[in-house]
Chain A
């Protein structure tokens, strides 16, 4: 990308950027701008996120996580009040759900104001989702607790947003914890197996799609650059 193209057009001001921001006119030639650094993926991204890193992929996909969490909060609230009998359980449920709602409100406001959140905050918020759902499952009888379906929404959110390695770590953690909770309260292993496998399936499908999309975007950018270079070469020729 470091080659320059001779374009015999005198009426462009030096320093003018091309429409896509990838070329700069220095008065006599179009010079390629330095390509942006690639989005970090994998555990290194997670480790780097302690240094206030924000990733573009995560910024976009975070909207999905935020909406998944609102669904979880709204459904959780409604279902907590429906047929509530035990005061202690209701107190735990409400405390967990309201805490989650405040956290989600902060993240949503950040998104609406166009301020991307720091990666590690998003990762911790998703961890909080899993902790809250596990707490609800634990207080409602483990295997028999119907609220385990909320794991699906949480897993869907991070599977499309997080890098593959982190998705695998979060999913494995979720499956491990839920297996422990279920196996301590039931011996219906066939059904436990089905639930765990479907959770894993959601994570795999979401992450597979996210990776495909990333590859498609890279192809599109490369095709655009090729077309641009061909156009500029045509002008200089």
Chain B
């Protein structure tokens, strides 16, 4: 027997390479998610400011994010993206700044702030890059951070009055869904890539073969009757 028939499928993409590629390619998603947050925040800060003092209080949040993202994006396009720890640290800074924005933004704070949507792309981007445990920790941290921002910005009494608890739960469910669905898709794609790396047959071909195998005896029985 020749080697191609007896040896196990050849893996052309090692685990180490896979992890590095996840962080490398995933960084683009995180960087673009952050640019979206920056665009929204900067336009809002300039658009909704009624006086100089307000603009001076709000724009530094986004200047900090812009500086960080310039650095990360610059490193990425130069072909030397930052390592895993720095990407995680930058994502934690995102959470911190967004939480501060939700808690202290002058036009509506805490539960009344519509800026909680800034969490969504950040959590989704993170979920597409890191393994399940890290993703789950980050998503839970984001949910706790949002709760803390609501607590700080609105106070416990306002949070528990009227329809606010229902709104809060709805937002938290969607925030958790962003993390869960993003990471679920990430793991599906990892599995497909692993199969492609070993030269495995396309899943679609396998499915068609299975369906054909199930239908063939039935067709034969029909013909016989």
Chain A residues in contact with chain B, CB under 8 A?
7, 9, 11-12, 16, 18-23, 30, 36, 54, 56, 59-61, 63-64, 67-68, 71, 75, 79, 82-83, 114-116, 146-147, 149-150, 152-153, 156-157, 160, 190-191, 193-195, 197-198, 200-202, 204-206, 208-210, 212-213, 216-217, 220-221, 223-225, 227-228, 231-232, 235
Chain B residues in contact with chain A, CB under 8 A?
1-5, 9-10, 12-13, 21, 25-26, 28-29, 32-33, 36-37, 39-40, 43-44, 47-48, 107, 114-115, 117-118, 120-121, 124-125, 128, 163, 166-167, 169-171, 173-174, 177-178, 180-182, 184-186, 188-189, 192-193, 196-205, 207, 210-211
Given the interface pairs A64-B188, A83-B166, A209-B128, the reply to whether A149 lies near B5 with Cβ below 8 Å is no
The answer on a CB contact under 8 Å between A20 and B29 is no
Can you give 29 contacting A-B residue pairs, CB < 8 Å?
A9-B1, A20-B9, A20-B198, A20-B199, A20-B201, A22-B199, A36-B205, A63-B184, A71-B180, A83-B163, A114-B207, A146-B171, A152-B178, A153-B174, A156-B178, A156-B181, A191-B114, A194-B115, A194-B118, A198-B117, A201-B33, A205-B124, A205-B125, A209-B29, A220-B12, A221-B196, A224-B198, A227-B12, A228-B199
The answer on a CB contact under 8 Å between A205 and B121 is yes
Main secondary structure of the interface of B (DSSP, over half): helix
Residues of B near A150 (CB, < 8 A) are 174
A19's partner among B9, B28, B47 (CB-CB below 8 A) is B9
Given the interface pairs A19-B9, A60-B203, the reply to whether A198 lies near B40 with Cβ below 8 Å is yes
Nearest B residue to A8 via CB reads B2
How far is A153 from B188 in the complex, measured between Cα atoms in Å?
Answer: 18
Residues of B near A67 (CB, < 8 A) are 180-181, 184
B5's partner among A16, A61, A208 (CB-CB below 8 A) is A16
Residues of B near A157 (CB, < 8 A) are 181
The answer on a CB contact under 8 Å between A224 and B121 is no
